[in-house]
């Protein structure tokens, strides 16, 4: 008998809003709206994302910003920082990927992990899920919800079951029991139109769907009926599709005790440079961009970057670049919690001369 798979669906909680709150703690606990300038209700853009506090007042992504302002004039409105969200997403995905046998990122803030073998090395599914949640909270200052199930569709439904900071484990023997009372709209991909058609057939819950004659379902929906029926009957077995494309190579270190001892910090940066350079060589890659990450006490995080005119696989520009970028922070009286080094703009290494000195060009890369 084939053993049941263990699939995680990891979903970051209110991702854009949570990143903004991490960068600016004064935004925590308020109705935070990320999107267009509301202009006292006359703005013409839309809500990109919002905090859970704002959602309780009826706000949601895609909503006209004018409507959002009418519902929540007391809210705090900030423009989106897509570059920052993208970088944080990369950091998070790199952290959780290392725990997966197979990894599939499906959006900026969610991913599937097949951890069938991996969880055995970490004490079981729940123990591994808690490890991931703890690491993201302590190292990235973010929370996530994780659904655990033997297939992707159930894992996704489970991750939404106790948001935020949820953890729901649906064992293989109990999948149909878990799904049965839930409305069919909980199935990813079942929109309002499909839901209404199902309801007209007397199918309101996933349990109703599981009992419906598959031949009749096929006549009504065609091939999608096979997918719907399989999900409802716990028979969906879609593989976690490896789609991870290496966009960067990075390494970070969190100090056991926050420090402003820069000789100690410099030694750690030197070690991180060695780590990323060795990985660069192992992957046979060249890079164009060097990024320094510095996080102070209280999760106040800054990133600074320099870009090369041409890609290179030389170590010298990394050393020079990190030294130059770190200079800005040496006189900051605050203590450092974490430092990181990242190489991006990766491409396959090509034979050629090492890049010459003095070819670093500064460019935007700042947060907050």
Residues identified as active-site? 110
**Distance of alpha carbon 53 from alpha carbon 55, whole angstroms:** 6
33 SS3 class = strand
CA dihedral 59→64→66→67, nearest 10 degrees, is -40
- Write out the E strands in the chain: 7-12, 32-35, 47-50, 76-78, 102-107, 110-114, 144-149, 167-169, 248-259, 285-296, 301-312, 336-344, 347-348, 360-362
| Residue written as token pair 């058609």 | 197
Dihedrals phi, psi of 39, to nearest 5 degrees: 50, 50
223 SS3 class = coil
In sequence order, which residues have a C-beta less than 8 Å from that of residue 320 and are 6 or more positions away? 357, 360
CA dihedral 165→182→112→228, nearest 10 degrees, is -170
The dihedral built from the CA positions of residue 265, 267, 269 and 271, taken in this order, carries a sign that is: negative
């Amino acid at each position: 008998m084939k053993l049941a798979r263990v699939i995680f669906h990891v979903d970051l909680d209110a991702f854009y809003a949570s990143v903004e709150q991490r960068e600016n703690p004064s935004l925590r606990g308020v109705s935070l709206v990320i999107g267009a300038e509301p202009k006292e209700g006359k703005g013409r853009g839309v809500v990109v994302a919002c905090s859970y506090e704002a959602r309780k007042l009826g706000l949601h992504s895609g909503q006209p910003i004018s409507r959002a302002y009418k519902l929540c004039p007391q809210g705090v409105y900030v423009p989106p920082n897509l570059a920052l969200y993208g970088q944080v997403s990369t950091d998070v995905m790199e952290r959780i990927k290392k725990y997966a046998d197979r990894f599939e990122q499906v959006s900026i803030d969610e991913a599937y992990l097949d951890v069938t073998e991996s969880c055995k090395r970490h004490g079981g599914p729940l123990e591994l899920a808690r490890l991931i949640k703890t690491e993201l909270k302590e190292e990235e200052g973010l929370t996530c919800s994780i659904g655990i199930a033997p297939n992707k569709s159930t894992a996704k439904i489970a991750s939404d079951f106790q948001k935020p900071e949820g953890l729901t484990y649906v064992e293989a023997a109990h999948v149909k029991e878990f799904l049965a009372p839930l409305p069919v709209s909980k199935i990813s991909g079942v929109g309002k139109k499909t839901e209404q058609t199902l309801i007209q057939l007397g199918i309101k819950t996933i349990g109703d769907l599981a009992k419906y004659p598959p031949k009749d379902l096929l006549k009504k929906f065609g091939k999608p009926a096979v997918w719907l029926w399989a999900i409802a009957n716990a028979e969906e077995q879609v593989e976690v599709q490896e789609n991870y494309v290496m966009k960067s190579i990075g390494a970070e270190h969190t100090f056991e005790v926050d420090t402003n001892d820069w000789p100690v910090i410099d030694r750690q940066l030197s070690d991180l440079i060695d780590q990323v350079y060795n990985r660069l060589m192992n992957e046979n890659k060249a890079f164009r961009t060097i990024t320094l990450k510095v996080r102070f006490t209280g999760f106040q995080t800054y990133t600074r970057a320099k870009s090369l005119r041409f890609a290179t696989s030389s170590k010298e520009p990394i050393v020079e670049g990190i030294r130059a970028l770190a200079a800005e922070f040496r006189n900051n009286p605050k203590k450092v919690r974490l430092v990181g080094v990242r190489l991006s703009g990766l491409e396959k290494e090509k034979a050629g001369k090492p890049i010459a000195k003095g070819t670093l060009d500064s460019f935007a890369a700042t947060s907050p």
